[in-house]
Structure 1
Amino acid sequence: MPALIGLLLLGLLLSTVAPRLLARARWVEREPVLALLVWQCLVVAVLLCCVLSLLLAASAALPELRALVFAGAPHGVEAAYGLQDAEGWGRLCAAVLAAGGLQTAFALTREVRTAKAVRDRRHAQLTSRAPELPEAIAAARNRRERLVVLESVRPEAWSLPGPDSRLVVTTGALQQLTDRELAAVLSHERGHVRARHHWLQQASQALASGFPGVGVFSAFRDQVAELVELAADDRAARRHGRHTTALALAEINLDRGVFGSCPPGLAQSPRRVDRLLAGRPRLSVPHRLRLTLVALAAPAAAVLLAVAPGLVSQF
């Protein structure tokens, strides 16, 4: 069972060592989009290790499944995996991994249903506070998102993602922000909607809830909550300038300390303002390419480790 043991060890290594290295990396704040890609590749690699381990363990425990998995494989491939005499270990590993998979599926389903219910409730509340005219509904069908203005003295702006997405801004924000600052705020929120950041946040929350004791998933959830805000900040800064975006961030959060649609406490505006004003340059293209290749190597290593015994048996 070398492939099964190797996949379990690789998953353990990726879920313990890699998150610590990423947490210490200094380039993350300079390249939040790339950092999100690296985190996603890391999590996909861990999940691949679990899924492929489950497949091999179940194949060891169930001869019928093993015959199905290796149907049509060249001579010697099935024997190379050493699953014939490992039914006991196979049953144990398959039971543990299957329980984890079911827990993840339940957590993801619960998270998606909860997020949809919250989004529907917020849409209903928004509609009751700012009802739309029939012609406005018809005209908005050709747009990717709609802008809604609410009467409130408090300067706020947020996004409601989904098929019928909204960008919401209050009259307090219209009065307090300049035109360029308001454009930066809306660009920030538009970045959340168009990059589908809510999907990433739901998936990370589901994994953290499904595996509360696994550090890589809780770190993934925390990092996603921060990195999506930095990525949206950078989108606004590229279009409207770093200083304008920083001023808008400060103006709209004078009494809150939080910018955008993230929950309070997840992204502190002073740190983000300092980051925008510092204006540190992006990583060079070769550096970004190397990091991308390293990130993609993680899931590729899991797949390669799973098929390695079969490949070796043919040479």
Structure 2
Amino acid sequence: MIAAAVALGALALALAWPVPVALSRAEWPVRSPATALVLWQGIALGGGLSMIGALLAFGASPAGSLSGAADALIPVIAAGPIPEGFGVVHLAALTLAVGLAVHLALNLATTAVRAERARRRQHRLIDLLASPASASTGARVLAHPVPAAYCVPGLRTATVITDGLVDLLDDDELRAVVGHERAHLDQLHHLVLLAFRAWHAALPWFPIANRAERSVAMLTEMLADDAPRRRVGVEPLRTALLRVGSSGASAAYSDSPTASAASDERVLERRLARLEADLHPLDPRARSATWLLATAIVAVPVCVLAAIAA
């Protein structure tokens, strides 16, 4: 049990700092953002499981298993005394593990509820203020002079553009912007962002949570760029990004956290640089290896926890 706690603790430490820092600084994710996104999800899930698992393994070590610890501690929680072999540090580790798991689960639930409420408000406003979907773009048009586009996910989705955007862009550029927003909806980016936003909300003091959320948001933007890039071409998308960005309004994803102007500018610069570089994806072997690594990062703590549970 102590060896399992040490192993999971070491894995949690690696996934909490050096691994995500290295990934956030790497250059290859812009070439294959989908693969990088899978790895980020593996790091987040594996890190959380390893952190909780290390605490559980250490706390349950006097009993030799998690089930043994439960059998020894649950009957005496209220009446006491503490069973022989268990100390305050073991009880503290178990309490912290349970508290951390509940804290993360509650933050995920509350973040999801807030996001759903915000989406419902957005849909009501769209129904009230926007015109029906146009035949040419399939997007709802909002009477507003500022050029902007955004999408609202959920069971009922909507893509919204403003009059200002229609006046600013030509047909191909407009299709590129609408295609970008629809890619967010088709690829369910709001669910990925929701998980990382909940992680950041649960651990706001944890620098890696913020770094992960920003990196994942960047990758979803790049993935959404790839859809119109294939269908419309690079030049209309690049021109649309330049025009919309230079007008002081970037394409907005309605379910995303509020970002600073400087952060928006960095995202725009990275997206433009990626389009202009015409980068080639990772080769299939590298992608497969990365997917296997992401799977292993999650599988290791799950297997260790399963082994010490009985």
Partner of 1:142: none
Number of positions where the alignment pairs a residue of Structure 1 with one of Structure 2: 288
In the alignment, is the contact (CA less than 8 A) between 2:59 and 2:89 conserved in 1?
no
CA contact (8 A) 1:103 1:210 kept: yes
* TM-fit CA distance, 1:129: 0.6
Alignment correspondent of 2:156: 164
> Paired residue for 1:94?
94
User: Residue 178 of structure 1 aligns with which residue?
Assistant: 170
User: 1:54-101 CA distances to partner (integer Å, 9 max, x unpaired)?
Assistant: 55356457899624989xxxxxxxxxxxxx945544312111122222
CA positional deviation for 1:296: 1.9
Q: Are 2:5 and 2:58, in contact at CA under 8 Å, matched by a contact in 1?
A: yes
Q: TM-score, normalised by structure 2?
A: 0.82
Q: Distance in 2 between matches of 1:27 and 1:175?
A: 37
Helix, strand or coil at the partner of 2:245: coil
CA distance in 2, matches of 1:46, 1:64: 21
The CA deviation at 1:167 is 0.5
Separation of aligned partners in 2, 1:105 and 1:290: 30
Distance 1:264 1:3, change over 3 A: closer
What amino acid does structure 2 have at the position aligned with 1:233?
Answer: D
The 3 A distance-change label for structure 1 pair 247 and 190 is same
Q: Partner of 1:271 in structure 2? A: 270
Helix, strand or coil: the match of 1:28? helix
1:196 paired residue among 168, 180, 188: 188
Distance 1:61 1:121, change over 3 A: farther
Aligned mates of 1:278, 1:257 — CA distance in 2 = 24
Q: Could you say if the C-alpha distance between residues 301 and 63 of structure 1 is closer, same or farther in structure 2, counting changes exceeding 3 Å?
A: closer
**Equivalence for 1:77:** none
Take 2:210 and 2:148, find their aligned partners in 1: how far apart are those partners? 29
Contact 1:146–1:166 (CA<8 Å) still a contact in 2? no
For 1:244, which of 216, 226, 236 is the aligned residue?
236
CA distance in 2 between counterparts of 1:152 and 1:50 reads 48
SS at match of 1:153: coil
Question: Which amino acid letter does the alignment assign opposite residue 46 of structure 1?
Answer: G
Structure 2 counterpart of 1:17, one-letter code: P
CA apart distance, 1:257: 5.7
Corresponding residue SS for 1:152: coil
Counterparts of 2:62 and 2:107, CA distance in 1: 27
Q: TM-score scaled by structure 1? A: 0.81
Within 5 A, what are the aligned runs for 1:13-52?
13-52=14-53
CA distance in 1, matches of 2:57, 2:309: 13
Alignment partners' CA distance in 1, 2:25 and 2:66: 43
CA distance, structure 2, for counterparts of residue 165 and residue 7 of structure 1: 41
Specify the SS of the correspondent of 2:4. Answer: helix
Q: What is the CA–CA distance in structure 1 between the aligned matches of 2:201 and 2:39, rounded to whole Å? A: 21
Structure 1 residues 253-297: Cα deviation after superposition (integer angstroms, max 9, x where no partner): 222263342544344323322221221222212222222222222
Aligned residue in 1 for 2:80: none
Q: Report 1:201-240 matches (<5 A).
A: 201-240=193-232
Per-residue deviation, residues 179-205 of structure 1 (Å, max 9, x unmatched): 211111111001111111111212111
Any idea what SS the aligned residue of 1:93 has?
A: helix
Contact 1:42 1:295 in 2 (8 A): yes
Name 1:123's counterpart in structure 2. Answer: 123
Conserved? CA contact 2:31–2:282, under 8 Å: yes
What is the Cα deviation at residue 235 of structure 1? 2.0
**Alpha-carbon distance in 1 for matches of 2:110, 2:138:** 28
What's the counterpart of residue 9 of structure 1? 10
Contact 1:161/1:198, CA 8 A, preserved across alignment: yes
Distance 2:306 2:125 in 1: 52
Give, in angstroms, the shift of residue 163 of structure 1: 0.8
Partner of 1:283: 282
Q: Which amino acid is 1:3 matched to?
A: A
Partner residue of 1:149 out of 132, 141, 156: 141
User: Could you list the runs of 5+ residues in structure 2 that have no partner in the other structure?
Assistant: 72-83
**Partner in structure 2 of residue 294 of structure 1:** 293
1:152 Cα deviation after fit: 2.3
**Contact 2:38 2:294 (8 Å CA) reproduced:** yes
Give the Cα separation in 2 of the matches to 1:126 and 1:113: 20
